[in-house]
């Protein structure tokens, strides 16, 4: 798994490869730094596998943003990953799944 983290104008965490129990701690470290009390975007377009430990990383971001009305947006174009996340987190009020990074930025009011 490779993780890329950009700060401006909103934290964007890009994850390439597989996220599982063996490497989710690295992702959680980035999530804690990137998403605490701020809206953030997970770019999972290059993620090939996501198990429950990866879903927990998204839950962590949602929890960190909940108190400050922050939003967590996941960019996903893999149907299997989308389905896993929809089942687990799809109905949470401060979480949304979109299909492109531009759509995610629009959701957060960031126009390019």
pTM: 0.90
Domains belonging to the chain, first-starting first, are: 2-102 (3.30.750.24)
Task: Work out whether the CA dihedral 28, 32, 33, 35 comes out positive or negative.
Answer: positive
Q: Can you give the pLDDT at residue 37?
A: 66
Chain-centre distance of CA 84, in angstroms? 13
DSSP 12-44: EEEEEEEE-TTTHHHHHHHHHHHHTTS-EEEEE
pLDDT of the chain, 112 residues: tens digit per residue: 999 999 878 899 999 999 999 999 999 999 998 887 679 999 999 999 999 999 999 999 988 887 667 899 999 999 999 888 888 866 777 899 999 999 999 999 887 6
Extended strands (E) in the chain: 2-6, 12-19, 40-50, 72-75, 95-98
Residue entry with tokens 């929809």:
86
Task: Work out whether the CA dihedral 60, 35, 94, 83 comes out positive or negative.
Answer: negative
């Amino acid at each position: 798994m490779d993780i890329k983290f950009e700060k401006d104008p909103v934290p964007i965490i890009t994850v390439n490869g597989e996220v599982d129990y063996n490497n989710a701690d690295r992702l959680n470290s980035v999530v804690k730094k990137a998403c605490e009390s701020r809206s953030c975007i997970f770019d999972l377009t290059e993620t090939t596998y996501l198990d429950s430990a990866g879903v927990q990383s998204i839950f962590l971001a949602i929890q960190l943003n909940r108190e400050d009305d922050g939003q967590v947006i996941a960019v996903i174009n893999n149907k299997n990953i989308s389905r896993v996340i929809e089942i687990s987190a799809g109905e949470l009020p401060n979480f949304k799944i979109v299909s492109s990074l531009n759509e995610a930025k629009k959701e957060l009011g960031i126009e390019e």
